[in-house]
Structure 1
Amino acid sequence: MNFTKLFTRTGFGVLFLVAVAACNNNKADKKAGDSTVAAAPAGAATPGTPIKYDSSKRYIYLTWDDSPQPPGTVMSKNVFREEGIKATFFSVGFNQVGPQKKRLIDSLRNGYPQFLLANHSFSHGFRDQYSKFYSPAMTDSAFNDFMRNEKDLKIPVKIIRLPGNNTWASNGQIDGQKSENALVKKLDAAGYKIIGWDLEWHQAAKAKAPKESVDEMLKMIEQRFQDEYTYQPNSIVILSHDRLFEKKEHADSLRKFISELKKDPRNVFETIDHYPTVQKK
């Protein structure tokens, strides 16, 4: 199936309901204001608790991969907190080495509802050997790699991003590069939601730095919304990596990026447990 055909104006919609009126009590959310953070149901602080959507809003899911990668993870987390917006960290178990990195993972897990900890495999696809990781002969081993990561990092949700692969799966609906892969089908059958991405803030060649400028990223986001060229209507999943923002100048670019997005009252930042295909039962 041609993946580009997935991003069409029809076929993947969910019914957008009336906006939630109540604000949660998270300190960072208060700092951002109602225009940047979607309200959660009163008293809800459990990952995966459904929200209702406002069809007049545009939902932005910032998803950062490969944590813990200090200082990039710390810098990104601080910017998100200071700007009062929500973000998801897809984390890798073998990166959690030593007490500092363990505390960092704990801070992400305990940071909900502002931060969500999600699963990016223990070994990052058997240490980037993707052809091996996704081979039929390794299906059980790769599945167990995700299960180990979930257990070791105490990941609170059944949400996965495949390493090195842009695939979506939810309740038997599988789209993307690995739509016929045995591992993907096994994860989906076990009730896991697999999240791809609509737009990536790439890493510059031979440098731990963002490739695209803030203005380029903002322009692409606006164009995707205007063209309705996202996997789900009124929602955009942005992928980047913690390590890109370890230097102050790059963290400042991230801060500018978020500040510019916050200027549009339609934009709402959410964690990926509130993405439409994840909430759909």
Structure 2
Amino acid sequence: MKTQLVLGAAVVTLFASNLLTGCKSGEDEKKKGADSTQVAEKKAGPGDPIKYDSSKRYIFLTWDDAPQPPGTNVCKQVFQEQGVKATFFMVGMHQLDHRRKLIVDSLRNAYPQFLIANHSYTHGFRNNYRSFYAHADSAVNDFLKAQEELKIPVKIIRLPGNNNWVSKGEIRGPKTPREVCKRLDSLGFKVVGWDLEWRFKGNSTPIQSADEMVAEVNNKFDNFTSYEPNAVVILAHDRMFAGKQYADSLRKFISVLKQDPRNVFETIDHYPMVQK
């Protein structure tokens, strides 16, 4: 009888222990799940800084005047095929119809592969740069209108028609837009220029071949002639690559650069000057 009582007590103790362990395990799983949710919530967004690797060469593909279908769509497809990041500098008046707004939305929602940034609303009063920069109030308002209507997630601008760099009171580049640069800087915007351009003739025909562009990129890195060391900003325009032969040239350009393990493609919110 005594033995039976001892065994019974042991069973009860074991049951209680398992019950407590089960509860604790459930609590741990809940806590683990909560921690996972917190990690997911901390996912990097536009403008969040990254850590640089000094052994790498950072390439920033920045395409101006978007959205310009079919060029914008073609470039997007090539970048997706190649698995590289790129930035599209948007012009507000280019998204007036529903079809183009869908392109802007698709790019905005594709971060971190793609980033949209500000290239003014009217493209410098429709390419009349002298008048645009001579009227600083109107020019700044033009950028602010583009920022709002395009729902641009970062305060990064490229000036139409001028290769200027602006950050925290430091202004480099042509003097014509200087007053506009000062005002944009006071509003917390960074202005980003470019190190080399994939030029075009006529309205949209690329001048350099893919191999020539690769050579220019390597020359910038090898001779340390870019604005920031170990970082090269490339300017091109969406409409240049609408045709198949030019899309193939863009595809080849990226493919060759990818063969060098040092090369990393990033969006312009991760450019060193912008992160400072």
What TM-score does the superposition give when structure 1 sets the normalisation length? 0.82
Cα shift at 1:157: 0.3
Count of residue pairs brought into register by the alignment: 237
Number of the residue aligned with 1:197: 194
Task: Trace 1:113-152 onto structure 2 (pairs within 5 A).
Answer: 113-135=112-134, 138-152=135-149
Residue 270 in 1 paired to residue 266 in 2?
A: yes
Structure 1 residues 172-181 or 124-133, which shifts more? 172-181
* Distance 1:75-1:180 versus aligned 2 partners, 3 A rule: closer
User: Out of 235, 248, 272, which is 2:244 matched to?
Assistant: 248
Q: Unaligned 5+ residue runs, structure 2?
A: 1-39
Aligned partners of 2:176, 2:218: CA distance in 1, in Å?
Answer: 28
Number of the residue aligned with 2:46: 47
* Distance 1:196-1:76 versus aligned 2 partners, 3 A rule: same
User: Out of 205, 211, 223, which is 1:227 matched to?
Assistant: 223
Contact 2:108–2:114 at 8 Å: present in 1 too?
A: yes
Number of the residue aligned with 2:99: 100
Task: Trace 1:56-75 onto structure 2 (pairs within 5 A).
Answer: 56-75=55-74
Read off the aligned partner of 1:158 and give its amino acid letter. K
Read off the aligned partner of 1:63 and give its amino acid letter. T
Alpha-carbon deviations, 1:115-157, whole Å to 9, x = none?
000000000000000000111xx11110000000000000000
Q: What is the percent sequence identity of the aligned residues?
A: 59
Contact 2:64–2:89 at 8 Å: present in 1 too?
A: yes
Residue 260 in 1 paired to residue 259 in 2?
A: no
Contact 1:76–1:251 at 8 Å: present in 2 too?
A: yes
Cα shift at 1:97: 2.3
Contact 1:122–1:149 at 8 Å: present in 2 too?
A: yes
Cα shift at 1:178: 3.2
Number of the residue aligned with 1:185: 182
Residue 176 in 1 paired to residue 157 in 2?
A: no
Cα shift at 1:179: 7.6
Number of the residue aligned with 2:84: 85
Alpha-carbon deviations, 1:12-37, whole Å to 9, x = none?
xxxxxxxxxxxxxxxxxxxxxxxxxx
SS of the residue aligned with 1:134?
A: helix
Q: Unaligned 5+ residue runs, structure 1?
A: 1-40
Aligned partners of 1:54, 1:45: CA distance in 2, in Å?
Answer: 18
Number of the residue aligned with 1:158: 155
SS of the residue aligned with 2:205?
A: coil
Residue 216 in 1 paired to residue 215 in 2?
A: no
Q: Which has the larger radius of gyration?
A: 2
* Distance 1:257-1:123 versus aligned 2 partners, 3 A rule: same
The structure in which a higher percent of residues are helix is 2
Contact 1:45–1:112 at 8 Å: present in 2 too?
A: no
SS of the residue aligned with 2:100?
A: helix
What TM-score does the superposition give when structure 2 sets the normalisation length? 0.84
Q: List 4+ stretches of structure 1 deviating above 3 A.
A: none
Read off the aligned partner of 2:43 and give its amino acid letter. A
Contact 1:161–1:196 at 8 Å: present in 2 too?
A: yes
Contact 1:120–1:146 at 8 Å: present in 2 too?
A: yes
Read off the aligned partner of 1:53 and give its amino acid letter. Y
Aligned partners of 2:90, 2:171: CA distance in 1, in Å?
Answer: 22
